[in-house]
Amino acid sequence: MQNRWHTLPLIAALIAAAACAGDRPAPTAPASALAPAASRVGTTTTTFVLTQLDGASPPALLCAADGTTLTGGTLALSSKGTYLATFSLQSAGSTAVTTYQDKGTYSVSDGTIQFRSPGVGTFTGTLSTTSGVTTLTATYPYCGITHTLVFQQQ
């Protein structure tokens, strides 16, 4: 059962990417949108919420092979370049929800966010802002399938 959780740090990294969007907008955003991040004193946190897994709203099937369902997720992105992603998972046939967390670092460049997750590696996502809503879309392989994750800043 522990082996299937080994790629969850990737999911966490992708969620972290979404959080970054709140600190540094996509390149099409006005320069004034960067001012809040530049003027911060101390550490602030931006939160993103998972809104889609493969086009479906959570809860959504993450791994058909073992029946794991992703029931939700959040990403907390620190203004100091670190993230904490928290995911809620449910195994097939169980009513219990398991919480999984991943920590790492991130950086943003021209609308692309790069995450570094210890033990997993580096992953990327794309940031966009439409009608004032910042969204991160990223793909990742898990359980033999490449999934698409979408997060929105809250």
Q: Which domains does the chain possess?
A: 2-153 (2.40.128)
Give 56's DSSP letter: B
CA distance 139 to 40: 31
pLDDT one-digit tens code per residue, 79-125: 999 988 888 999 999 999 999 888 899 998 888 888 888 866 778 88
- Environment class of residue 134 by beta-carbon count within 10 Å: exposed (0-12), middle (13-18) or buried (19+)? buried
Taking all residues of the chain, what is their mean pLDDT, rounded to a whole number? Answer: 76
Neighbouring residues of 73: CB distance < 8 A, sequence distance ≥ 6: 11, 15, 49, 50, 58, 85, 86, 87, 88, 151
CA distance 49 to 38: 24
In 24-69, alpha helices (H): 35-38
Neighbouring residues of 98: CB distance < 8 A, sequence distance ≥ 6: 88, 89, 90, 91
Could you give phi then psi for residue 111, rounded to 5 degrees?
80, 0
pTM over 0.85: no
pLDDT at residue 148 in the model: 87
Rg, C-alpha atoms of the chain: 15
pLDDT one-digit tens code per residue, 25-75: 333 333 333 334 444 457 899 899 999 999 999 999 999 999 999 999 998
Please tell me whether residue 78 adopts helix, strand or coil conformation: strand
